[in-house]
Structure 1
Amino acid sequence: MKSLKDAGIHPRTVSRAVQDGIIEKIKPGLYRLPEKKPDAHSSYYVIHWAIPSAIIALTSAAVYHELTTANPSEIFIAVPQNKSKIRLDYPPVRIFYFPETYYKTGMVSVKTPRGRFRIYTPEKTICDLFRYRRKLGESIAIEALRTYASRRSRDLNKLMTFARRCKVEKIISPILKGLIG
């Protein structure tokens, strides 16, 4: 808002522009032009811009990696545990505060012509789904593991390395053995 004031734009003008759909409010003081043709991940770019520490996680990462058929109404993000409370008006997010050791592990940066965002690898995503199975449901974690195990591109050693780091190896291992024989 300060840069808008510095440019000579009155706060009422900004409020009217939001009401008329000319601009969209992302969070207090942060606005953007509405997209004419948003792509499937346009909300991820907005989140990266609004919350630089955010990493697309859990169910949203599973959707991105095509590990689940779930269609969450919110975007699941991870931020460091020591981060203060975050407020975001758009898009709807569900925030998980990860301990530093889990937060930094398995993150990759995705760059596209439309923007950039950070997300966890498929292997880390599966392990996180098992870590949060009581909050999110065990079925989505098992679906993600089943889908991953059926892929030719799977890397079971990498998956089990993340499972050890995330302390879910004893949970994932017997399920995985049942899936792959």
Structure 2
Amino acid sequence: MDLQQYAQENDTPIFSRQALTKLGYHHRHIQKLLEEGVLERLRPGYYRVLNVGFLLNEDLQEVCIQVKHGVVCMESALAYYGLSTVRSSEVWMAIPNHSRAPRIVYPPVRYCYFAESTHQYGIIRPEGFPVYSKEKTLADILHHRNKIGMQTVKEAFRDYLRLKDCNLNELLRASEVCHVGERMFDLLQMLT
């Protein structure tokens, strides 16, 4: 099997050593692919397939591989959707309460612990890795506005309301799930 073709078809350029072994690539094969320039070692046990043309969100994808039940959230999700000019130096990941957060050296990760019902709501996989929908992300940042900052919250909401695919019904539904329904209503009235 051609690894570059597999990566392109499955929209995943980053593989762990374990995943490559499951695909039939053992130590000698991996070493040969590194020498041929097909693979690049990101760090011990993790590799990126080169020349597949879709590596815009590789840090997010790399973290999602390592955090089994993690979902890209908060500032990282805002940046992914282009709803904020703030670029965090950390990847924000939501994990269920009482989960053990894996220690990741690079890229740095900031964990947010969510209740199970809140954690499961609004997960989409537009590029193969889990990220919260725009509406769920906005409800989350409103709920955690003290961590994010009210200026960032207002900027994100203004940008969202300008979008053609703005869905106020889904935004209100997400705000109920995240227990910020009244605050959401007040903020929307203030901004519109």
- The normalised TM-score by structure 2 is 0.74
Aligned with 1:42 (options 58, 71, 79): 58
> In structure 1, what residue type is equivalent to 2:168?
L
Which residues of structure 1 form unaligned runs of 5+? 10-21
CA RMSD in angstroms comes to: 2.6
Structure 1: how far apart are the matches of 2:191 and 2:185?
10
Q: Provide the residue aligned with 1:122 in structure 2.
A: 134
Tell me whether 1:171 sits opposite 2:183 in the alignment. yes
| Cα distance between partner residues in 2 of 1:62 and 1:165 | 19
Give the structure 1 partner of residue 91 of structure 2.
Answer: 75
- Which amino acid is the alignment partner of residue 57 of structure 1? C
Q: Which runs of 5+ in 2 are unaligned?
A: 1-15, 19-25, 29-39
What code does the residue aligned with 2:68 have? P
Instruction: State the AA in 2 paired with 1:156.
Output: L
Which residue is 2:105 aligned to? Answer: 89
Sequence identity percentage: 25
d(CA) in 2 for partners of 1:73, 1:47: 13
Q: Which amino acid in the other structure matches residue 24 of structure 1?
A: L
Aligned residues: 161
- Per-residue deviation, 1:39: 2.6
Query: Following the alignment from structure 1 to structure 2, what is the Cα–Cα distance between the partners of residues 151 and 2?
Result: 40
CA deviations 1:111-160 (Å, max 9, x no partner) are 3xxxx200000000000001111112111111111111122221111101
Task: For residue 44 of structure 1, report the CA deviation from its aligned partner.
Answer: 1.5
Report if aligned partners of 2:101, 2:111 keep a CA contact under 8 Å in 1.
Answer: no
1:81 Cα shift? Answer: 1.0
Structure 1 residues 168 and 23: alpha-carbon distance in aligned structure 2, compared to 1, 3 A threshold: same
2:50 counterpart of 1:32: no
Measure, in 1, the Cα distance between the counterparts of 2:63 and 2:105. Answer: 11
> Cα deviations across residues 92-118 of structure 1 (Å, max 9, x unaligned)?
11111111111001111123xxxx200
How far did 1:38 drift? 7.5
- Which residue, out of 169, 173, 181, partners 1:157? 169
Q: Distance in 2 between matches of 1:106 and 1:124?
A: 6
Contact 1:108 1:120 in 2 (8 A): yes
1:9-24, aligned counterparts within 5 Å?
A: 23-24=41-42
In structure 2, relative to structure 1, the CA distance for the partners of 1:8 and 1:70 (3 Å cut) is closer
2:144 is the alignment partner of 1:132: yes
Cα drift, residue 40 of structure 1: 2.3
Equivalents in 2 of 1:142, 1:166: separation in Å? 18
